[in-house]
Amino acid sequence: MDDLLAAILVLLPRSGAGDPCRVLDGLDLHRAVAYARLDPDGVTAQYAERAQTDDIATAEDYRRRGVRIEGGRVERQSCEEADGRLHVIERLGPAVAVLPDGERQALPREPWQEREVQLVVEHGRWRIASVRDPVVE
Backbone angles phi, psi at 102, to 5 degrees: 95, -10
| pLDDT for residue 124 | 83
DSSP 4-36: HHHHHHTTS-HHHH--HHHHHHHHHHHHHHHHH
Provide mean pLDDT across the span 107-131. 91
The reported pLDDT for the residue numbered 50 is: 83
pLDDT at 14: 53
- For the chain, give the percent of residues with pLDDT over 90: 45
**95-98 and 104-106 as β-strands: parallel, antiparallel, unpaired?**
antiparallel
pLDDT in tens, 86-103: 999 999 999 999 999 999
Average pLDDT score, the chain? 85
Q: pLDDT tens, 44-80?
A: 999 998 887 888 888 889 999 999 999 988 999 999 9
For residue 104, list its beta bridge partners: 98
Helix (H/G/I), strand (E/B), else coil: 56: helix
